[in-house]
Amino acid sequence: MSDEPNEVEQLILLALVRLGGDAYGVPVRSEIVGRAGRSISLAAVYAALDRMEQRGHVESWFSDPLPERGGRARKHFRVTPSGARALREAREVMLRMWDGLERHPDLEAS
């Protein structure tokens, strides 16, 4: 499996950065739903976070158990330097490919 974050993973990484220290499943999902207009299930968010954690792109820690979660702990995530690097790279790849094509007639919105 490649180490480059796919599109969903990029969305999640960006949401993590936006949310700062407060990032866990619920706000990440609502950030993506609200800002990007993409529908995504919580399980998919966590699956992606799990993959990225194994790759070292994010790191996580647990809060104390909370009564409003039925006594479960909250798992918080943060982007690691390597995650940030991967995200930047992904953006640059896209920008390089886009370079000079913004006004290309084939890409005009119809």
Partner 1 sequence: MRGPPPRVLEWILGRVLHASSRESVLGDLHEEYVRIEGDRGRSAALMWYAGQALASLRPSVRRRFSRGFPRVARTRRGMVVDSLLMGVMQAWRSLWRRPAYTVAAVTTLALAIGANAATFGVVDAILLRPLSYPDAERIVSLGETHPARQSDWGWLSIPNLADWRAEAASFEAAALFRGGSMAVTGDGDPEYVVGMRVEPAFFEVFGTAAHVGRTVSGSEAGDESYSTVVLSHGLWTRRHGGSPDIVGTMLILDGSAHTIVGVMPRGFNAGGDWIGAPVDVWVPVDFAAMGESRSDRSYNAAARLRPGATVSDARAELSLIASRLSAIHPDENDGWSSGVMPWKELIVGDTRSTLLLVWAAMALVLLAACANVGNLVLNRALARESDAAVRRALGARSGRLVGGVLLESVLLALAGAALGFLLAFALLSAVRALDPGDLPRLATAAVDVRGAGFTVLVAVAVGVSLGLYPAWRASRAGVQDTLRSARSGASRNARRVRDGMTVVQLAIAVALLAGSALAMHGFLRLRSVPPGFQSADVLTATVVLSWNRVPERADRAAFTRAVLDRLRALPGVESAAMINSLPFSGSSMQQTFLVAGRPASPQDEPFAGIRGISPDYARTMRIPVRGRELRDADLVVNPSAVLVNETLANRYFAGRDPLGERIVLFGGEVEAEIIGVIGDVHHFSLDRAAVPEIYVPYTADFLSSKTFLVRSGRDPASLGDAVRTAIHDVDADQPLRARGPERAETVPLNRIVSDSLGGQRFRTLVLTLLAGLAVVLSVVGLSAVIAITVTERTREIGLRMALGADRRAVLRWMLRRTAGLTTIGLIAGMAIVLAGGRALEAMLFDLTARDPGTLLLGAAAFLLIAAPAVLAPSLRATRIDPGRVLRDE
Binding site for partner 1 (CB under 8 A): 24-26, 29, 39, 41-44, 46-47, 49-50, 66, 68-70, 72-75
Minimum Å gap between C-beta 60 and partner 1 is 9
Minimum Å gap between C-beta 84 and partner 1 is 23
Q: Provide the angle, in degrees to the nearest 10, between the axes of the packed helices 42-55 and 7-19.
A: 90
Instruction: Determine the Cα–Cα distance for residues 82 and 5; give it in Å rounded to an integer.
Output: 11
In eight-state DSSP terms, residue 77 is E
Looking at the Cβ atoms of 61 and 98, the one nearer to partner 1 is 61
Minimum Å gap between C-beta 73 and partner 1 is 7
Instruction: Determine the Cα–Cα distance for residues 29 and 41; give it in Å rounded to an integer.
Output: 8
